[in-house]
Amino acid sequence: AIKLEEAAERCVNVLVSLIETKVNYLVQEAMIVIRDILRKYPNKYEHIIGTLCENLDTLDNTEAKACMIWIIGEYAERIDNAAELLENFLESFSEEQHAVQLQLLTATVKLFLKRPHLAQDMVKRVLALVTHETDSPDLRDRGYMYWRLLSTDAEAAKAIVCGHKPIIQDDTNQMEPKVLDELVSNLSNLA
């Protein structure tokens, strides 16, 4: 779907059917792929977000959780119960892996910037949690950065946190054939 735009629609349909099987590992891998599809084709396949949100209870893989949290944060203005979904993830914040914690922080800030009336208390709680109760300097520093941005200029924060993201590019065919041939011929020498 990322490399062949013509196949994207069919790929999305197959991924949705895999998610609907509710087989744990299939759901999780499909969510990871769908995150990349949503990044490659923004505003094109948003209709599947509801199906993704219905299958949150099957997530136990760190990358799949982080991907789903990214989707919730990125599309917070289109997901009616985004605050509730993030609250469910926040219940186990301290037990989550670092990548999930970073995504929860960013998604909560995005939700606050897009729908402040829903997330005002949540963002305060999350910022206090990451700045006072975490051992991770990356998480703490990002929390302080968001806190400073939000307290000084909310519009600048929105421009930075919710700003335009570059679309994923397929650069596999951008390598010169001569260089590619050389790399392939030396592939067996890697061991």
> pLDDT tens digits for 98-129?
999 999 999 999 999 999 888 889 999 999 99
Nearest to 31 by CA among 1, 65, 7, 3: 65
The answer to which of 10-14, 66-70, 170-174 has the lowest mean pLDDT is 170-174
Nearest to 35 by CA among 74, 79, 7, 81: 74
Nearest to 163 by CA among 119, 110, 115: 110
Name the pTM for this structure: 0.81
Question: Residue 118: what residue type?
Answer: L
Q: How far apart are CA 99 and CA 136, in angstroms?
A: 11
Q: In terms of pLDDT, which residue wins out, 69 or 1?
A: 69
Q: In terms of pLDDT, which residue wins out, 181 or 81?
A: 81
Cβ(75)–Cβ(49) below 8 Å: yes
Question: Residue 36: what residue type?
Answer: D
User: What DSSP state is assigned to residue 47?
Assistant: G
Taking only the tens place, the pLDDT of each residue in 141-176 is 999 999 999 999 888 888 888 877 766 666 656 777
Q: Is 3 exposed, middle or buried (0-12, 13-18, 19+ CB in 10 A)?
A: exposed
> Which residues, other chains included, contact 26 with Cβ-Cβ below 8 Å and sequence gap of 6+?
18, 19
- Backbone φ and ψ for 36, nearest 5 degrees, come out as -65, -35
